[in-house]
């Protein structure tokens, strides 16, 4: 059963999964038919379990940590959001070393509490080194 507390808990598990380098925890939060747009308007759509697994397996390899900027926000519907800062590892690809990205993720859930849609909002000015 979907609840505001459950959605917030899922977003916290998402953060914790990154900070523990645990792609499986992150992947387990998504429905098999989920869709990711990261960044919104950037032309990159990741859809389905296999693509999401590859996406997050790679992501945890380059992310040092995610720092929550404000409390996770729920809704009266099926979505929750969080503002956070991504810090990439210093041993990431040379073009990405030391990169910091300020992001707002909005995640939409199905009735079972699985993420069916994730949208990551960040523009060029939200990325720095």
Annotated catalytic residue: which of 33, 38, 67, 105?
38
3-state secondary structure of 127: strand
User: Is 126 labeled as catalytic in the residue annotation?
Assistant: no
114 Rama sector, left if φ>0, alpha if ψ -120 to 50, beta otherwise: beta
User: Is 38 labeled as catalytic in the residue annotation?
Assistant: yes
- How many Cβ atoms sit within 10 Å of the Cβ of residue 16? 13
CA distance 82 to 68: 7
Q: Which residues, in sequence order, are bridge partners of residue 109?
A: 115
Annotated catalytic residue: which of 14, 56, 105, 117?
14
107 Rama sector, left if φ>0, alpha if ψ -120 to 50, beta otherwise: beta
Catalytic residues: 14, 38
């Amino acid at each position: 059963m979907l609840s505001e507390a459950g959605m917030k808990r899922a977003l916290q598990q998402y953060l914790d999964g990154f900070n523990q380098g645990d792609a499986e925890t992150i992947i387990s939060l998504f429905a098999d038919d989920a869709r990711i747009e990261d960044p919104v308007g950037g032309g990159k759509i990741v859809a389905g379990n296999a693509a999401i697994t590859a996406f997050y397996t790679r992501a945890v390899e380059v992310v040092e940590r995610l720092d929550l900027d404000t409390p996770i926000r729920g809704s009266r519907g099926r979505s929750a959001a969080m503002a956070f800062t991504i810090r990439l590892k210093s041993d990431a690809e040379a073009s990405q070393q030391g990169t910091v990205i300020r992001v707002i993720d909005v995640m939409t859930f199905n009735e079972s509490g699985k993420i069916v849609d994730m949208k990551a909002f960040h523009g060029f000015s939200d990325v720095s080194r």
